[in-house]
Chains A and B, each alone.
Chain A
Amino acid sequence: MLLRYRGGAGMLAWAFHRIAGVALFLFILLHVLDIWLAAANPGLYDEVLTVYASLPGRIGEALLGAALLYHALNGLRIIALDFWPRLTRYHLQLWYACWVVFFVVGIPGAYLIIAPALGLPGLKG
């Protein structure tokens, strides 16, 4: 549906922004619950933490980071276009710039998040 609709880059930018936003919303519900748990029941929280530090947990966090990074970059693009309408002429270039930053920051970032679970060299040696 997304690819057949003739909305072009702007429509994809909007769809990804919305999907990432809803995913982030759901994670925030989970995250506030687990931090609340850290205060209410520290022992149980420490057990939950092993899931976050596991390989599936870290893959999930890399995906979370991807959603956050895309939503943040495209959000800046939206704000820029809203407050400086003349930039609309370059909306496509801004959309490509978002993706350049996304991959340049995101690929090393995803590696660093997942590396510890695979015994690969990371920030902690």
Chain B
Amino acid sequence: MAVITRAGRARPRSAGFELGVWYLIRLSGLALFVLALGHFSITHFVSDPAEQTSEWIFDQRWSGLFWRTLDWLMLQMVVFHAFLGMRTVLSDYLRGGWRTAILMVLYLLAFLVFVMGTVAVMSMPVGLVR
């Protein structure tokens, strides 16, 4: 018999939506291991928060398409990972109507985070706007 690991959520037995969520959490987690740790290192060890003014963000860090694309990819991974993760957490503690209602708020929040992050990462350099 196969060993059933209990480190994370048990892999759903049948194919379907829940199995997709199970894989997506792990795939986006792997991507974020590189993207999020890299992002944290850049903003705290390569640069320093004291110098990260809005001008620095839009004119230097986001001066080219490469970093904007990479950060937008990170945003998408974060939206999947953070909100599907919270979905699992909340589903553990909520039942019935409350679960449905709170999950609806969660999905709405995920959409809002995606839109706001996308607007930010596609904004023009501050120098161009002024």
Which of A10, A29, A53, A112 touches B45 (beta carbons < 8 Å)? A112
Please measure, in the bound complex, the distance between the C-alpha atom of A78 and the C-alpha atom of B45, giving whole angstroms: 28
**Does A72 contact B45, Cβ atoms closer than 8 Å?**
no
Mostly helix, strand, loop or mixed at chain B's interface?
Answer: helix
Please measure, in the bound complex, the distance between the C-alpha atom of A15 and the C-alpha atom of B16, giving whole angstroms: 27
Which of A39, A53, A65, A124 touches B58 (beta carbons < 8 Å)? A39
Which of A18, A42, A116 touches B89 (beta carbons < 8 Å)? A18
Q: What A residues does B89 contact at CB under 8 A?
A: 18, 21-22
**A38-B58, A57-B49, A123-B48 as given contacts; A82 in contact with B11, CB under 8 Å:** yes
Which of A58, A72, A85, A88 touches B33 (beta carbons < 8 Å)? A72
Please measure, in the bound complex, the distance between the C-alpha atom of A8 and the C-alpha atom of B6, giving whole angstroms: 13
Q: What B residues does A61 contact at CB under 8 A?
A: 44, 49
